[in-house]
Amino acid sequence: MFNVTIAPKEYIQHHLINLQLDLRTFEWVNESQNTSSFWILNVDSLFFSNILGISFLFFFVFLSKYMTSNIPEKLQMFVELIILFVEDSVKEIFHKRNKLIAPLSMTIFIWVFLMNFLDLLPIDFLPYIVQYIFGVSVLHVVPSTDINIVLSMAIGVFFLMLYYSFKHKGVCGFIKSLIFYPFNHPLCIPLNFFLEIVNLLSKPVSLGLRLFGNMYAGELVFILFATFVPWWCQWIFTVPWAIFHIFVIVLQAFIFMILTIVYLSIACEED
């Protein structure tokens, strides 16, 4: 609910900043000094992303102990459908035998979906609870709207791409793929190298920014509704947008997973 004592600009900015800790002094960063730096940790994004990841792992480990080959319960059927969906996606794109790709894809899909799902909570719900209990006035709930979180995941995929490229192509093969493609001529080596480096570096950037941009825009719409629409009729706007946003959060998790599989499949090509 919009606090009428706060100006709209301040309210919007308040919901778009993170709870930050300065590792150099181990002091909390003031709301007015909120910034990005190597020594600054976005504590709220790290907390929610890790809690969701750990909860996902514990849930699947707990469920695996009670799975049965007889008539499964509804929860087991739901999880099996997700596993089969991810497995089929991997088989259609990744044609080599690899024990990491399917579990990695499953983890990415569920983890990104859970982080996106927090965007459906009322924007003042968790911040109000945390402020009431701990006295913390700043809290950014959705980790996938934090550029640091999404780019760190994309960079992790990028390092896996490099690892599999060196593993399947070798150092010489990887260098050749950068300098002799797409034009297989010695005179085109500088042009090839420039094009392939740009293509290589653009993959993690586009992977992370696509997720960040879509989720950030969705969260901003919710904030605008809470800012300018009276509380007694907010549901008229927020409910349809939330229903549409369910499709967005699933789609963004799916796209992040599919692009990860595609990039790793390309990295594993030996030719």
Q: What are phi and psi of 88, to 5 degrees?
A: -65, -40
Task: Residue 138: give the domain boundaries.
Answer: 8-267
Rama region for 37: left / alpha / beta (φ>0; ψ in -120 to 50; rest): beta
Check pLDDT > 60 for residue 8.
yes
31-70 pLDDT tens trace: 777 777 778 899 999 999 999 999 999 998 888 887 777 7
User: Does 192 reside within a domain?
Assistant: yes
User: Does 32 reside within a domain?
Assistant: yes
Catalytically annotated residues: 206, 210, 214
User: Does 113 reside within a domain?
Assistant: yes
In single-letter form, the type of residue at position 101 comes to I
148-207 pLDDT tens trace: 999 999 999 999 999 999 998 888 889 988 898 888 888 899 999 999 999 999 999 999
pLDDT score recorded for residue 143? 96
Computed over every residue of the chain, the mean pLDDT equals 89
User: Does 96 reside within a domain?
Assistant: yes
User: Does 3 reside within a domain?
Assistant: no
Whole-Å CA distances, 188 to 83, 178, 198: 45, 11, 15
Check pLDDT > 70 for residue 1.
no
Give the highest mean pLDDT range of 4-8, 40-44, 111-115, 222-226: 111-115
Q: What share of the chain is helix, strand, coil (3-state, %, to 5)?
A: 75, 5, 25
User: Does 1 reside within a domain?
Assistant: no
How far is residue 263's CA from residue 161's CA, in Å, rounded to a whole number? 7
User: Does 2 reside within a domain?
Assistant: no
Residue 90 is encoded by which pair of tokens?
Answer: 């991997």
pLDDT score recorded for residue 6? 65
Per cent of the chain over pLDDT 70 is 97
User: Does 225 reside within a domain?
Assistant: yes
In 10 A of CB 270, how many CB atoms? 9
* β-bridge mates for residue 40, sequence order: 22
* Per-position DSSP letters for 187-199, written without gaps between them: GGHHHHHHHHHHH
Per cent of the chain over pLDDT 90 is 56
pLDDT score recorded for residue 3? 45
In 10 A of CB 246, how many CB atoms? 13
DSSP one-letter code for 29:
P
- Per-residue pLDDT band for 2 (boundaries 50, 70, 90) equals very low
Number of folded domains that form the chain? 1
